[in-house]
Amino acid sequence: MSPTNRPMRAIMADDEPLARSYFKELLAAHPEVELVAECRNGLEAARAIAALRPDVAFLDIEMPRLDGFEVLELAEQPLAVVFVTAYDSYAVRAFEARAVDYLLKPFSAERLAAALERVRDRVGRHEPLDGAGLRREVFPDRPFVDRLAIKDGAEIAIIDTADIDYIRSEDDYASVHVKERSWLKHETMSGLERALDPRRFVRIHRTCIVNVARVARVEQETKERYSVSLKDRTELPASREGMKRLRDVLGL
């Protein structure tokens, strides 16, 4: 049982029907765990976590709509996470370093029982997990994201990074601007700077990241103050260091 003496609430997400059936068959031996949602893709998993607030999520890594890391990034409440994966090299080392448990496909009943034991120790400890950081460690050959998943009220927006004009900080959020629209993502500017390809996105100011393809003009206003004009005539502030980074990328 969980610390509140109730069944531990779990969701699982896997796009393979046979994998879901196998998981449920093994989980049936653990009456202390209540499976509250069975999800076919990452989008369903993200919605289930928001609506049902489970104690633990068993997430396949590569799924349609959203992958397991994006699901983790969208979770607004602390929960234990067990990644279910077929990757047995970088993934295992990354998960062990971050104290995240994993199930390596195909896994046995004994391995699931061991994972559940570790989960019991994590439930209620409210330890945040860095989905973006895990992604970089698991896939070192794919260090940068090509889309952002953002909660938009009850919906989830999936934005191609190529469509982003610029990003500005808004207190504890980042405002992601695409044409006339913007979305608030609960992420730091430093986190987004690490996630985005530096050949395409440059942090020109502590409050601003710009898509280099949108830049129309750069100007020096004072010794320490610069501005960047976008093709849609948006004006953005830039620091001396930020301007140097932008000029390096632009080859100026």
pLDDT at 7: 87
CA distance 229 to 196: 21
Q: Which residues contact 222 (CB under 8 A, 6 or more apart)?
A: none
| Edge-to-edge strands, sheet with 235-238 | 215-220, 226-230, 235-238
Averaged pLDDT score across all residues of the chain = 87
Instruction: Report whether 80 contacts 72 (CB < 8 A).
Output: no
CA distance 62 to 71: 11
Instruction: Report whether 218 contacts 238 (CB < 8 A).
Output: yes
Query: Which residue type occupies 210?
Result: V
Classify 14 as helix, strand or coil: coil
Q: Give the tens place of pLDDT for each residue, 19-45.
A: 999 999 999 999 999 999 999 999 999
CA distance 70 to 12: 15
Give 200 or 83, the one with higher predicted confidence: 200
Query: Which residue type occupies 103?
Result: L
Structural domains in the chain, CATH included, are: 8-138 (3.40.50.2300), 147-250 (2.40.50.1020)
pLDDT at 84: 87
pLDDT at 2: 46
Q: Give the tens place of pLDDT for each residue, 150-185.
A: 988 778 999 999 999 999 999 889 999 999 899 999
CA distance 34 to 107: 20
Instruction: Report whether 111 contacts 103 (CB < 8 A).
Output: yes
Residue linked to tokens 């949602």? 37
CA distance 15 to 78: 24
Phi, psi at residue 207, to the nearest 5°? Answer: -105, 5
